[in-house]
Amino acid sequence: MKLHLLEDNLSDGQQVAFSGALARAIYVTAGEVTSSGTTYQCDDGFVTDQSLTLTAGVEGASLWRWDICEALPETPVEYTAIKLSGEVPEHLSGPGNFLRLDSVTFPPEGTALLHTHQGPGIRCLREGGIRIDTGGLSNSFGPGGAWFESGPVPVFAQADRSVQSRFIRAMVLPDVLRGKSSIHYENEEDRAKPKSQIYRSFGEIGLSP
């Protein structure tokens, strides 16, 4: 099973349907979309385990969409681009696990001290800049840049030193973490230190059978 991040750019009033995922998360990066009578504005996000029909607003809409599925259906290249994919381990690929969508904001010079998570996820930077050190590699990302974290491999994050930075994140986690933080600090001395991250939850949804 894989977690995929796609970008959809919809024109004025365009209607699109998505199906075939165990669960998915949607974040609106521009414009607005309506689904089942609910309108989601720019900077709104939601999760679902149902087939989905979206209608773009009068100014169109741009979306980041995370799907959990074996293989993506053929994507309509006129409005969808695949940004990144990553493996979901078998023990996290079915019932008893869930998909979480949230945002993580750092003040200037903010850091995420060396840490792991209990499941994989794909992050996409919304604003600012960030450097991710993991697995012996260091990579920097600007707005729209996406990266995959497997979960058990330790990560250190350094945000831009001059402006606020924020990324949007979809993660697959075991049900015992519903409503709870997934982060585990690797160094005992770091666990009591003040943390700079601010979190905003967009929702959690269990994985379908």
- Please give the CATH architecture assigned to the domain spanning 2-92: Sandwich (2.60)
Residue by residue, pLDDT tens for the chain (209 residues) are 999 999 999 999 999 999 878 999 999 999 999 999 999 999 999 999 999 999 999 999 999 999 999 888 777 778 999 999 999 999 999 999 999 999 999 999 999 999 999 999 999 999 999 999 999 999 999 999 999 999 999 999 999 999 999 999 999 999 999 999 999 999 999 999 999 999 999 999 999 87
In terms of DSSP H, where are the helices of 34-133?
none
For the domain bounded by 97-206, which CATH number is listed?
A: 2.60.120.10
Which three-class secondary structure state does DSSP give residue 94? coil
Determine the Cα–Cα distance for residues 19 and 49; give it in Å rounded to an integer.
9
pTM of the shown model: 0.95
Paired tokens of 64: 């980041």
In eight-state DSSP terms, residue 90 is G
DSSP 110-128: -EEEEEE-SS-EEEEEEES
Stretch(es) of the chain classified as CATH 2.60.120.10: 2-92, 97-206
Please count the other Cβ atoms lying within 10 Å of the Cβ belonging to residue 11: 12
